[in-house]
Amino acid sequence: MSGLTVTGTTITPIAVKDPPLLNSVGVHQPFALRSIVEVHTNAGITGLSEAYGDDPTLANLRAAAAALVGLDAFDINGLGRRVALALGQVTPDSPTELVGAPSVAKTVASTVSAFEVALFDAQGRALGRRVCDLLGGAVREAVPFSGYLFYKWAGHPGQEPDRFGAALDPDGIVAQAKWLVDTYGFGSLKLKGGVCPPDEEIAAIRALRAAFPDHPLRLDPNANWTVQTSHHVAGELDGVLEYLEDPTPGIPGMAAVAARTSLPLATNMCVTSFEDVPDGIAQGAVQIILSDHHFWGGFRASQKLAGICETFGLGLSMHSNTHLGLSLAAMTHLAAATPNLTYACDTHSPWQTEEVIEPGAVRFVDGTVPVPPGPGLGVTLDRDALARLHEQYRECGVRHRDDITPMRVVHPDWTGKRPRF
Protein backbone atom coordinates (compact mmCIF):
# COMPACT_ATOMS: atom_id res chain seq x y z
CA MET A 1 0.00 0.00 0.00
CA SER A 2 1.51 3.29 -1.09
CA GLY A 3 0.32 5.61 1.62
CA LEU A 4 -3.07 6.70 2.84
CA THR A 5 -3.21 10.48 2.84
CA VAL A 6 -6.11 12.78 3.63
CA THR A 7 -7.27 14.69 0.58
CA GLY A 8 -10.36 16.36 2.02
CA THR A 9 -13.35 16.05 4.28
CA THR A 10 -17.12 16.32 4.03
CA ILE A 11 -19.09 17.36 7.11
CA THR A 12 -22.86 16.99 6.86
CA PRO A 13 -25.11 18.16 9.69
CA ILE A 14 -28.30 16.16 10.11
CA ALA A 15 -31.38 16.29 12.33
CA VAL A 16 -33.25 13.21 13.56
CA LYS A 17 -36.63 13.03 15.23
CA ASP A 18 -36.31 12.67 19.00
CA PRO A 19 -39.07 11.78 21.48
CA PRO A 20 -39.86 14.00 24.51
CA LEU A 21 -37.45 12.35 26.94
CA LEU A 22 -37.35 14.15 30.30
CA ASN A 23 -34.23 14.91 32.33
CA SER A 24 -33.01 17.21 35.06
CA VAL A 25 -32.54 20.15 32.66
CA GLY A 26 -35.86 19.80 30.87
CA VAL A 27 -37.00 17.78 27.88
CA HIS A 28 -35.51 16.69 24.56
CA GLN A 29 -36.44 18.86 21.57
CA PRO A 30 -38.40 17.28 18.68
CA PHE A 31 -35.10 17.05 16.76
CA ALA A 32 -31.60 16.01 17.83
CA LEU A 33 -28.56 17.16 15.87
CA ARG A 34 -25.63 15.04 14.67
CA SER A 35 -22.96 15.52 12.05
CA ILE A 36 -21.64 12.89 9.68
CA VAL A 37 -17.91 13.21 9.01
CA GLU A 38 -16.34 11.73 5.88
CA VAL A 39 -12.55 11.83 5.55
CA HIS A 40 -11.42 11.20 1.98
CA THR A 41 -8.01 9.77 1.07
CA ASN A 42 -5.78 9.51 -1.97
CA ALA A 43 -6.49 5.75 -2.12
CA GLY A 44 -10.16 6.38 -2.83
CA ILE A 45 -11.04 5.12 0.65
CA THR A 46 -13.35 7.27 2.80
CA GLY A 47 -13.45 6.97 6.58
CA LEU A 48 -16.67 7.74 8.46
CA SER A 49 -17.65 9.02 11.87
CA GLU A 50 -20.58 10.59 13.67
CA ALA A 51 -20.25 13.59 16.00
CA TYR A 52 -22.34 16.27 17.71
CA GLY A 53 -24.18 18.51 15.27
CA ASP A 54 -24.68 21.79 17.11
CA ASP A 55 -23.28 25.05 15.76
CA PRO A 56 -20.14 25.22 17.98
CA THR A 57 -19.22 21.65 17.01
CA LEU A 58 -19.71 22.37 13.31
CA ALA A 59 -17.55 25.50 13.53
CA ASN A 60 -14.77 23.54 15.24
CA LEU A 61 -14.98 20.63 12.80
CA ARG A 62 -14.84 22.97 9.82
CA ALA A 63 -11.94 24.96 11.27
CA ALA A 64 -9.95 21.79 11.89
CA ALA A 65 -10.91 20.07 8.62
CA ALA A 66 -9.02 22.64 6.59
CA ALA A 67 -5.81 21.69 8.41
CA LEU A 68 -6.05 17.96 7.70
CA VAL A 69 -5.26 17.87 3.98
CA GLY A 70 -1.98 16.01 3.49
CA LEU A 71 -2.15 14.21 6.85
CA ASP A 72 -1.08 10.54 6.84
CA ALA A 73 -4.24 8.67 7.89
CA PHE A 74 -2.13 6.55 10.28
CA ASP A 75 -0.65 9.61 12.03
CA ILE A 76 -3.12 10.01 14.88
CA ASN A 77 -0.58 12.02 16.90
CA GLY A 78 -0.26 14.34 13.92
CA LEU A 79 -4.04 14.70 13.87
CA GLY A 80 -3.96 15.87 17.48
CA ARG A 81 -1.26 18.44 16.76
CA ARG A 82 -3.04 19.79 13.69
CA VAL A 83 -6.40 20.11 15.45
CA ALA A 84 -4.83 21.78 18.49
CA LEU A 85 -3.06 24.28 16.25
CA ALA A 86 -6.20 24.95 14.21
CA LEU A 87 -8.34 25.51 17.31
CA GLY A 88 -5.70 26.95 19.59
CA GLN A 89 -6.69 30.50 18.90
CA VAL A 90 -10.44 30.05 19.24
CA THR A 91 -12.36 31.01 22.34
CA PRO A 92 -13.30 27.75 24.04
CA ASP A 93 -16.95 27.20 23.33
CA SER A 94 -17.93 23.72 24.35
CA PRO A 95 -20.39 21.92 22.14
CA THR A 96 -23.74 22.09 23.87
CA GLU A 97 -23.86 18.31 24.33
CA LEU A 98 -20.89 18.55 26.68
CA VAL A 99 -21.11 19.15 30.40
CA GLY A 100 -18.83 20.93 32.81
CA ALA A 101 -16.87 24.09 32.22
CA PRO A 102 -15.73 24.71 28.65
CA SER A 103 -12.00 24.46 28.01
CA VAL A 104 -9.68 24.48 25.03
CA ALA A 105 -8.65 20.92 25.93
CA LYS A 106 -12.25 19.66 25.77
CA THR A 107 -12.92 21.53 22.54
CA VAL A 108 -9.83 19.99 20.99
CA ALA A 109 -10.65 16.54 22.38
CA SER A 110 -14.16 16.42 20.90
CA THR A 111 -12.89 17.71 17.56
CA VAL A 112 -10.00 15.23 17.45
CA SER A 113 -12.44 12.43 18.21
CA ALA A 114 -14.65 13.17 15.21
CA PHE A 115 -11.69 12.82 12.84
CA GLU A 116 -9.79 10.12 14.73
CA VAL A 117 -12.73 7.72 14.44
CA ALA A 118 -12.96 8.40 10.69
CA LEU A 119 -9.19 7.86 10.29
CA PHE A 120 -9.37 4.51 12.09
CA ASP A 121 -12.29 3.57 9.83
CA ALA A 122 -10.15 4.47 6.78
CA GLN A 123 -7.17 2.54 8.17
CA GLY A 124 -9.32 -0.55 8.71
CA ARG A 125 -10.82 -0.35 5.25
CA ALA A 126 -7.35 0.00 3.73
CA LEU A 127 -5.96 -2.95 5.70
CA GLY A 128 -9.04 -5.16 5.56
CA ARG A 129 -9.19 -5.23 9.37
CA ARG A 130 -11.82 -4.22 11.92
CA VAL A 131 -11.27 -1.10 14.03
CA CYS A 132 -11.28 -3.21 17.19
CA ASP A 133 -8.34 -5.18 15.74
CA LEU A 134 -6.43 -1.92 15.29
CA LEU A 135 -7.23 -0.98 18.90
CA GLY A 136 -5.50 -4.01 20.36
CA GLY A 137 -7.90 -6.79 19.45
CA ALA A 138 -11.38 -7.74 20.60
CA VAL A 139 -11.58 -9.15 24.11
CA ARG A 140 -15.34 -9.62 23.57
CA GLU A 141 -17.08 -10.21 20.25
CA ALA A 142 -20.40 -8.86 21.51
CA VAL A 143 -20.69 -5.74 23.70
CA PRO A 144 -23.41 -5.62 26.38
CA PHE A 145 -25.56 -2.48 26.49
CA SER A 146 -28.05 -1.42 29.17
CA GLY A 147 -31.67 -0.51 28.55
CA TYR A 148 -32.02 3.26 28.99
CA LEU A 149 -35.27 4.19 30.71
CA PHE A 150 -36.69 7.71 30.55
CA TYR A 151 -39.60 9.50 32.08
CA LYS A 152 -41.40 10.87 29.07
CA TRP A 153 -44.54 12.53 27.82
CA ALA A 154 -46.86 10.71 25.39
CA GLY A 155 -45.75 13.12 22.68
CA HIS A 156 -44.28 16.56 22.14
CA PRO A 157 -46.76 19.32 23.06
CA GLY A 158 -49.12 19.93 20.14
CA GLN A 159 -48.12 16.70 18.39
CA GLU A 160 -49.70 13.27 18.16
CA PRO A 161 -48.55 10.72 20.76
CA ASP A 162 -45.41 8.90 19.62
CA ARG A 163 -44.98 5.15 19.30
CA PHE A 164 -43.33 4.85 22.74
CA GLY A 165 -46.13 6.19 24.94
CA ALA A 166 -45.97 8.08 28.23
CA ALA A 167 -43.96 7.02 31.29
CA LEU A 168 -44.52 9.27 34.27
CA ASP A 169 -44.78 6.90 37.26
CA PRO A 170 -43.37 3.55 38.44
CA ASP A 171 -45.91 1.53 36.41
CA GLY A 172 -45.00 3.46 33.27
CA ILE A 173 -41.28 2.93 33.86
CA VAL A 174 -41.73 -0.80 34.45
CA ALA A 175 -43.83 -1.10 31.27
CA GLN A 176 -41.09 0.73 29.35
CA ALA A 177 -38.46 -1.60 30.82
CA LYS A 178 -40.49 -4.63 29.74
CA TRP A 179 -40.62 -3.27 26.19
CA LEU A 180 -36.84 -2.70 26.17
CA VAL A 181 -36.02 -6.10 27.67
CA ASP A 182 -38.50 -7.98 25.49
CA THR A 183 -37.43 -6.22 22.29
CA TYR A 184 -33.68 -5.93 22.78
CA GLY A 185 -32.86 -8.45 25.49
CA PHE A 186 -31.08 -5.92 27.71
CA GLY A 187 -29.55 -7.53 30.77
CA SER A 188 -29.27 -4.35 32.83
CA LEU A 189 -31.34 -1.18 33.16
CA LYS A 190 -30.63 2.50 33.77
CA LEU A 191 -33.24 5.09 34.72
CA LYS A 192 -32.67 8.72 33.78
CA GLY A 193 -33.75 10.42 37.01
CA GLY A 194 -33.67 13.91 38.45
CA VAL A 195 -37.12 14.42 36.93
CA CYS A 196 -39.60 13.52 39.68
CA PRO A 197 -39.30 14.12 43.44
CA PRO A 198 -36.63 11.67 44.66
CA ASP A 199 -39.04 9.47 46.63
CA GLU A 200 -40.99 8.83 43.41
CA GLU A 201 -37.79 7.77 41.69
CA ILE A 202 -36.89 5.52 44.63
CA ALA A 203 -40.35 3.93 44.18
CA ALA A 204 -39.66 3.46 40.47
CA ILE A 205 -36.37 1.70 41.23
CA ARG A 206 -38.09 -0.54 43.78
CA ALA A 207 -40.78 -1.39 41.19
CA LEU A 208 -38.05 -2.25 38.67
CA ARG A 209 -36.30 -4.41 41.25
CA ALA A 210 -39.57 -6.31 41.87
CA ALA A 211 -40.21 -6.76 38.14
CA PHE A 212 -36.60 -7.60 37.23
CA PRO A 213 -35.03 -9.28 40.29
CA ASP A 214 -31.76 -10.14 38.54
CA HIS A 215 -31.13 -7.07 36.36
CA PRO A 216 -28.43 -4.67 37.58
CA LEU A 217 -30.12 -1.26 38.01
CA ARG A 218 -28.67 2.25 37.75
CA LEU A 219 -30.13 5.67 38.49
CA ASP A 220 -28.81 8.91 36.97
CA PRO A 221 -30.38 12.15 38.25
CA ASN A 222 -27.82 14.33 36.42
CA ALA A 223 -26.70 16.29 39.48
CA ASN A 224 -30.22 17.42 40.37
CA TRP A 225 -29.98 16.61 44.08
CA THR A 226 -28.32 18.40 46.94
CA VAL A 227 -25.75 16.48 48.97
CA GLN A 228 -28.38 15.99 51.68
CA THR A 229 -30.94 14.57 49.23
CA SER A 230 -28.24 12.36 47.74
CA HIS A 231 -27.49 10.94 51.20
CA HIS A 232 -31.18 10.12 51.61
CA VAL A 233 -31.50 8.35 48.24
CA ALA A 234 -28.18 6.54 48.61
CA GLY A 235 -29.35 5.27 52.01
CA GLU A 236 -32.61 4.00 50.53
CA LEU A 237 -31.05 2.34 47.49
CA ASP A 238 -27.76 1.02 48.88
CA GLY A 239 -27.68 -2.65 47.95
CA VAL A 240 -30.38 -2.12 45.31
CA LEU A 241 -28.46 -0.18 42.67
CA GLU A 242 -25.43 -1.33 40.71
CA TYR A 243 -24.31 2.31 40.84
CA LEU A 244 -25.67 5.79 41.40
CA GLU A 245 -24.64 8.21 38.67
CA ASP A 246 -23.97 11.92 39.32
CA PRO A 247 -26.40 12.47 42.20
CA THR A 248 -25.03 15.96 42.95
CA PRO A 249 -22.90 18.59 41.17
CA GLY A 250 -19.12 18.84 41.31
CA ILE A 251 -16.23 16.81 42.66
CA PRO A 252 -16.47 18.13 46.28
CA GLY A 253 -20.21 17.41 46.36
CA MET A 254 -19.76 13.92 44.98
CA ALA A 255 -16.98 13.31 47.49
CA ALA A 256 -19.30 14.34 50.32
CA VAL A 257 -21.91 11.85 49.09
CA ALA A 258 -19.33 9.09 48.60
CA ALA A 259 -18.00 9.57 52.13
CA ARG A 260 -21.29 8.37 53.64
CA THR A 261 -22.37 5.52 51.37
CA SER A 262 -20.98 2.22 50.18
CA LEU A 263 -23.06 2.59 47.02
CA PRO A 264 -20.62 3.10 44.10
CA LEU A 265 -20.90 6.54 42.49
CA ALA A 266 -20.39 6.97 38.76
CA THR A 267 -19.92 10.10 36.68
CA ASN A 268 -20.03 11.59 33.24
CA MET A 269 -20.41 15.09 34.70
CA CYS A 270 -17.74 15.88 37.29
CA VAL A 271 -14.82 14.00 35.70
CA THR A 272 -15.14 14.67 31.98
CA SER A 273 -11.57 15.31 30.88
CA PHE A 274 -8.04 14.31 31.90
CA GLU A 275 -7.77 17.66 33.70
CA ASP A 276 -10.47 16.49 36.14
CA VAL A 277 -9.02 13.06 36.89
CA PRO A 278 -6.41 13.89 39.57
CA ASP A 279 -8.85 15.87 41.71
CA GLY A 280 -11.63 13.32 41.27
CA ILE A 281 -9.35 10.54 42.45
CA ALA A 282 -7.70 12.53 45.24
CA GLN A 283 -11.08 13.45 46.73
CA GLY A 284 -12.53 9.96 46.32
CA ALA A 285 -15.47 11.50 44.47
CA VAL A 286 -16.26 8.61 42.15
CA GLN A 287 -15.76 4.88 41.87
CA ILE A 288 -16.75 4.52 38.20
CA ILE A 289 -16.01 6.82 35.26
CA LEU A 290 -18.21 6.77 32.18
CA SER A 291 -16.03 7.01 29.13
CA ASP A 292 -17.32 8.49 25.88
CA HIS A 293 -15.03 8.67 22.88
CA HIS A 294 -16.97 11.68 21.56
CA PHE A 295 -15.70 13.98 24.31
CA TRP A 296 -12.71 12.21 25.87
CA GLY A 297 -10.82 12.63 22.59
CA GLY A 298 -11.43 9.48 20.56
CA PHE A 299 -10.53 5.81 20.75
CA ARG A 300 -6.94 6.14 21.94
CA ALA A 301 -7.79 8.74 24.57
CA SER A 302 -10.58 6.48 25.83
CA GLN A 303 -8.13 3.60 26.13
CA LYS A 304 -5.78 5.92 28.04
CA LEU A 305 -8.65 6.67 30.41
CA ALA A 306 -9.21 2.91 30.75
CA GLY A 307 -5.59 2.53 31.81
CA ILE A 308 -5.95 5.25 34.44
CA CYS A 309 -9.08 3.58 35.79
CA GLU A 310 -7.30 0.24 35.96
CA THR A 311 -4.29 1.76 37.72
CA PHE A 312 -6.37 3.53 40.36
CA GLY A 313 -8.91 0.74 40.88
CA LEU A 314 -11.81 2.64 39.34
CA GLY A 315 -14.59 1.01 37.35
CA LEU A 316 -15.18 1.96 33.72
CA SER A 317 -18.54 2.27 32.00
CA MET A 318 -19.67 4.12 28.84
CA HIS A 319 -21.93 7.16 28.43
CA SER A 320 -24.15 8.01 25.49
CA ASN A 321 -25.97 11.00 24.06
CA THR A 322 -28.62 10.69 21.37
CA HIS A 323 -26.77 8.96 18.52
CA LEU A 324 -27.21 6.90 15.38
CA GLY A 325 -25.66 3.68 14.12
CA LEU A 326 -22.30 5.11 13.13
CA SER A 327 -21.63 6.13 16.71
CA LEU A 328 -23.02 2.83 17.98
CA ALA A 329 -20.56 0.98 15.74
CA ALA A 330 -17.68 3.12 17.05
CA MET A 331 -18.76 2.56 20.68
CA THR A 332 -18.97 -1.19 20.04
CA HIS A 333 -15.48 -1.46 18.52
CA LEU A 334 -13.99 0.58 21.36
CA ALA A 335 -15.77 -1.40 24.08
CA ALA A 336 -14.82 -4.68 22.41
CA ALA A 337 -11.15 -3.69 22.60
CA THR A 338 -11.16 -2.31 26.17
CA PRO A 339 -10.65 -5.19 28.63
CA ASN A 340 -11.69 -3.37 31.82
CA LEU A 341 -14.87 -1.89 30.35
CA THR A 342 -16.88 -4.44 32.27
CA TYR A 343 -20.13 -2.54 32.79
CA ALA A 344 -22.85 -2.64 30.15
CA CYS A 345 -22.64 0.51 28.01
CA ASP A 346 -25.33 3.17 27.70
CA THR A 347 -27.15 3.68 24.42
CA HIS A 348 -30.03 5.85 23.23
CA SER A 349 -30.52 3.63 20.13
CA PRO A 350 -33.99 2.30 20.96
CA TRP A 351 -35.34 5.88 21.04
CA GLN A 352 -34.24 6.72 17.51
CA THR A 353 -36.67 6.06 14.66
CA GLU A 354 -34.38 7.31 11.89
CA GLU A 355 -30.99 5.97 10.77
CA VAL A 356 -28.14 7.09 8.53
CA ILE A 357 -26.40 3.76 7.87
CA GLU A 358 -27.47 0.77 5.81
CA PRO A 359 -29.37 -1.76 7.97
CA GLY A 360 -27.95 -5.06 9.15
CA ALA A 361 -24.37 -4.35 10.20
CA VAL A 362 -25.15 -3.04 13.69
CA ARG A 363 -27.90 -4.85 15.55
CA PHE A 364 -28.89 -5.89 19.06
CA VAL A 365 -28.72 -9.57 19.98
CA ASP A 366 -29.64 -10.56 23.54
CA GLY A 367 -28.85 -7.09 24.87
CA THR A 368 -25.49 -6.94 23.12
CA VAL A 369 -24.20 -5.51 19.86
CA PRO A 370 -21.98 -8.03 18.05
CA VAL A 371 -18.88 -6.35 16.60
CA PRO A 372 -19.62 -5.63 12.93
CA PRO A 373 -17.46 -8.04 10.90
CA GLY A 374 -16.63 -5.79 7.96
CA PRO A 375 -13.38 -3.81 7.69
CA GLY A 376 -13.05 -0.52 9.56
CA LEU A 377 -16.21 0.28 11.52
CA GLY A 378 -18.01 -2.18 9.28
CA VAL A 379 -20.88 0.13 8.36
CA THR A 380 -22.01 1.82 5.14
CA LEU A 381 -23.67 5.22 4.80
CA ASP A 382 -27.21 5.22 3.44
CA ARG A 383 -26.84 8.14 1.01
CA ASP A 384 -30.58 8.63 0.56
CA ALA A 385 -31.07 8.76 4.33
CA LEU A 386 -28.15 11.17 4.71
CA ALA A 387 -29.70 13.53 2.15
CA ARG A 388 -33.13 13.26 3.76
CA LEU A 389 -31.81 13.89 7.29
CA HIS A 390 -29.71 16.82 6.07
CA GLU A 391 -32.82 18.32 4.48
CA GLN A 392 -34.60 17.80 7.79
CA TYR A 393 -31.72 19.69 9.46
CA ARG A 394 -32.14 22.57 7.01
CA GLU A 395 -35.86 22.77 7.64
CA CYS A 396 -36.16 22.12 11.40
CA GLY A 397 -34.46 25.30 12.56
CA VAL A 398 -32.77 23.61 15.56
CA ARG A 399 -29.08 24.58 15.78
CA HIS A 400 -28.26 23.97 19.46
CA ARG A 401 -29.37 21.41 21.96
CA ASP A 402 -31.80 23.19 24.28
CA ASP A 403 -33.82 21.19 26.80
CA ILE A 404 -35.04 24.27 28.70
CA THR A 405 -37.09 26.21 26.12
CA PRO A 406 -39.34 23.27 25.13
CA MET A 407 -40.00 22.62 28.84
CA ARG A 408 -41.28 26.19 29.17
CA VAL A 409 -44.13 25.34 26.79
CA VAL A 410 -45.56 23.26 29.62
CA HIS A 411 -43.92 24.95 32.65
CA PRO A 412 -43.53 28.68 31.79
CA ASP A 413 -41.36 29.40 34.85
CA TRP A 414 -38.93 26.53 34.17
CA THR A 415 -35.26 27.48 34.62
CA GLY A 416 -33.47 24.14 34.40
CA LYS A 417 -31.35 25.22 37.37
CA ARG A 418 -29.80 22.40 39.41
CA PRO A 419 -29.92 21.00 42.02
CA ARG A 420 -33.71 21.22 42.14
CA PHE A 421 -34.33 18.62 44.87
Catalytic residue positions, numbered: 192, 319
On the CB side of 317, CA atoms within 13 Å amount to: 27
Pattern 225-254, Mg ion, x by CB under 5 A = --------------------x---------
* Strand ranges in 131-228 using DSSP code E only, listed in sequence order: 142-144, 147-150, 189-192, 217-220
Q: Which is nearer to Mg ion, 87 or 270 (CB)?
A: 270
Q: Closest Cα to residue 193, out of 155, 237, 252?
A: 237
Contacting range for Mg ion; rule: CB under 5 A; set: 33-41, 217-225, 396-404, 411-419: 217-225
Q: Which is nearer to Mg ion, 220 or 276 (CB)?
A: 220
268 touches Mg ion by CB under 5 A: yes
For the CB of residue 222, give the shortest distance to Mg ion in the complex, in Å. Answer: 6
Cβ(33)–Cβ(14) below 8 Å: yes
76-87 helix and 104-127 helix, angle to the nearest 10 degrees = 150
For the CB of residue 95, give the shortest distance to Mg ion in the complex, in Å. Answer: 16
**Rg of the chain over CA atoms, in angstroms?**
20
For the CB of residue 233, give the shortest distance to Mg ion in the complex, in Å. Answer: 15
403 touches Mg ion by CB under 5 A: no
Q: Which is nearer to Mg ion, 15 or 269 (CB)?
A: 269
Q: Decide: helix, strand or coil at residue 38.
A: strand
Q: Which is nearer to Mg ion, 9 or 349 (CB)?
A: 349
Contacting range for Mg ion; rule: CB under 5 A; set: 112-120, 215-223, 303-311, 355-363: 215-223
- Phi and psi at 402, nearest 5°, equal -150, 105
For the CB of residue 267, give the shortest distance to Mg ion in the complex, in Å. Answer: 7
- Phi and psi at 119, nearest 5°, equal -65, -40
Q: Which is nearer to Mg ion, 100 or 187 (CB)?
A: 100
220 touches Mg ion by CB under 5 A: yes
320 touches Mg ion by CB under 5 A: no
* Count of residues touching Mg ion (by CB under 5 A): 3
146 touches Mg ion by CB under 5 A: no
b/e per residue, 149-178, with b = 16+ CB within 10 A? bbbbbebbeeeeebebebbeebebbbebbe
Residues of this chain that bind Mg ion (CB under 5 A): 220, 245, 268
